[in-house]
Amino acid sequence: MPPAEKLDDDPDGASPLISVPAVAKPADTERHAPPVALVIFGASGDLTARKILPSLAHLIERAALPEEFTVVGVARTELDDAGFQQLALDSVPGHSESWEKAVSRFRYVTGEYDDLSTFSTLTTVLDDVDHECGTRGNRLFYLATIPSKFAEVAEQLAAIGLNRPGPGGEFARLVIEKPFGRDLSTALTLNRALHACFPESEIYRIDHYLGKETVQNVLALRFANAIFEPVWNRRYVDHIQVTVAESIGVEHRGGFYETAGALRDIVQNHVMQVIGLVLMEPPAQVDGQSIRDEKVKLLRSIVIPDPADAESSSVRGQYEQGWVEGQQVAGYRGEEGVDPASATETYVALKLSVDNWRWAGVPVYVRTGKRLARRVTEVALQFRKVPHLAFADRLARELTPNFFVLKVQPEEGVSIRFGAKVPGQAFQVKTVSMDFSYHDAFPGETPDAYERLILDAMVGDPTLFIRADEVAQSWSIVDPILAAWSDEYATPVATYPAGTWGPTEADLLIQRDQRRWLVL
């Protein structure tokens, strides 16, 4: 017999007045994809092998995907079905029998993305897998190509009629990797091209940061706990710091990075999305529309800098030769594919302002860069000082302001820093940390962000994907900074040795406000 559930307990602690059998409720957290054919454009590329295929293997091992599922790869690389199937197996070392069984149904189409015959062949293959694998006309098109092909592929899909479900199908969705344009103008142009082919409700712009457990946990921390939300505002918070630091350089992506830079690569998407979740107002419901509505409202509250003032509230830097983890590394201009006279930024520091009731007067400081001292992504809220410190200065020398730190990577969790008495005869106070670790609290492997997001797209949950108006608003904030940096009279890009925390100019940016970067 199941245990009894207590109801209407006596306020004095006596036995419950009513006792009824507890009824097990089905968990809505374990979701399963419907029958679907996943079509990957760019199927022979690095993203497919490194992220998409391993994520699919894990979903299959967790029984989150149905038997009526398959993958159709599309790329210019000459492969047949057997070659693509072998690529899928090689992408998942130590794979399971269930992955081998699924891979045996995978198909492949070789062709150019601007050739309609490629899409005619794809149509035939999709009809075949509907019949052979039972995918029932449901299609999920994943654009893992270079960004210049996004609109082209969508237009070809629409021209051949693949922007609609197959016979008996319920959906035909488009998943797009970042970047979503290079600036506001190109982002709007891309959105118009996509909307001419697919409705916005079927377009899923993916940002893997939003799939990370700690980023999602912001919603639980803020809106499921009474102890945080009352102090999550300008009355108690002095300022906010967002850090996205990488110890690696541009690796073999020098050519790409020359066209992007840290502001486009990290700030416009990852940083703006995290800021939106951390600072937004409570949504009426935890669903895709409500959460994204609140994120857009928050982004619209960020003060768009005037190009004339943008340079004074921003710093751009570029790493030089230095030491990282005991290894000497080259400077950015010495990397493969980089212009020896490049002015592309590998580091950005910003001061942003939010003009709304909750956050007016609370600056948001952002720093992100490559070849920094270590890999870490954190969001830190520093609280205001107590109005009166009753201890003598010498007894509180090791006391620092209170911080709430959301740790995104590499160790996911939360840290709260506060003052506590040091054991001993003197009443000495110092800062200590109370830490919550995902790994310790929930042992086992944490699902990769792509696992969550791919399953969400299959299920049709848009909560963690980026809407068109979010993209446009993010670019509206970033564009004036890009314009200020492109001015011929702009301050030259600052430099910093690899293995440090960035240029001294970034320290001065925050020190002008009598603040300093959190020691990581």
Domain boundaries, the chain: 36-177, 210-446+467-511
Q: What is the pLDDT of residue 396?
A: 57
**pLDDT tens across 148-181, in order?**
999 999 999 999 999 999 999 999 999 999 889 9
Eight-state DSSP code of residue 488? T
Predicted confidence (pLDDT) at residue 432 exceeds the cutoff of 80: no
Distance CA 23, CA 4 (A): 9
Report, as an integer, the average pLDDT of 96-101: 93
Higher pLDDT, 140 or 1: 140
- Could you give the 3-state DSSP secondary structure of residue 95? coil
Distance CA 138, CA 130 (A): 8
The answer, yes or no, to whether the previous bond of 179 is cis (omega within 30 of 0) is yes
131 carries an active-site annotation: no
Report, as an integer, the average pLDDT of 188-216: 91
| The two structure tokens encoding residue 380 | 């830190």
Report, as an integer, the average pLDDT of 115-127: 97
Q: Provide the pLDDT confidence category of residue 418 given band limits of 50, 70 and 90.
A: confident
Higher pLDDT, 408 or 515: 515
Q: Provide the pLDDT confidence category of residue 508 given band limits of 50, 70 and 90.
A: very high
Catalytic residue, chosen from 32, 270, 388, 439, is: 270
Predicted confidence (pLDDT) at residue 311 exceeds the cutoff of 90: no
pTM: 0.88
CATH code: domain 36-177 is: 3.40.50.720
Percent of the chain clearing pLDDT 90 (strictly above):
68
Predicted confidence (pLDDT) at residue 16 exceeds the cutoff of 80: no
Higher pLDDT, 257 or 24: 257
Angle at CA 374, nearest 5°, toward 372 and 380? 95
Q: Provide the pLDDT confidence category of residue 6 given band limits of 50, 70 and 90.
A: very low
Q: What is the pLDDT of residue 255?
A: 85
Q: Provide the pLDDT confidence category of residue 346 given band limits of 50, 70 and 90.
A: very high
Q: What is the pLDDT of residue 423?
A: 82
Predicted confidence (pLDDT) at residue 342 exceeds the cutoff of 80: yes
Least confident span in 116-125, 399-408, 488-497: 399-408
For CA atoms 303, 307, 308, 311, the dihedral sign is positive
Place of tokens 């791919």: 454
**What is the average pLDDT value for the chain, to the nearest integer?**
88
Q: What is the pLDDT of residue 326?
A: 87
Report, as an integer, the average pLDDT of 28-40: 86
Predicted confidence (pLDDT) at residue 12 exceeds the cutoff of 80: no
Q: What is the pLDDT of residue 394?
A: 58
Distance CA 275, CA 377 (A): 13
Percent of the chain clearing pLDDT 70 (strictly above):
92
- Asked: is 210-446+467-511 a CATH 3.30.360.10 domain? The reply is yes
Q: Provide the pLDDT confidence category of residue 4 given band limits of 50, 70 and 90.
A: very low
Q: What is the pLDDT of residue 124?
A: 97
Distance CA 267, CA 481 (A): 11
Q: What is the pLDDT of residue 153?
A: 97
Q: What is the pLDDT of residue 17?
A: 33
Q: Give me the torsion for CA of 153, 154, 159, 160, rounded to 10°.
A: 70
Least confident span in 15-24, 170-179, 221-230, 479-488: 15-24
- Residue 147 phi/psi, 5-degree rounding, is -60, -30
Q: What is the pLDDT of residue 252?
A: 82
Distance CA 165, CA 123 (A): 11
Higher pLDDT, 43 or 2: 43
| The two structure tokens encoding residue 192 | 């118009």
Q: Provide the pLDDT confidence category of residue 389 given band limits of 50, 70 and 90.
A: low
Predicted confidence (pLDDT) at residue 28 exceeds the cutoff of 60: no
Q: What is the pLDDT of residue 425?
A: 67
Q: Provide the pLDDT confidence category of residue 413 given band limits of 50, 70 and 90.
A: confident
Q: What is the pLDDT of residue 11?
A: 35
Q: Closest by alpha carbon to 216, among 406, 28, 385?
A: 406
Predicted confidence (pLDDT) at residue 398 exceeds the cutoff of 70: no
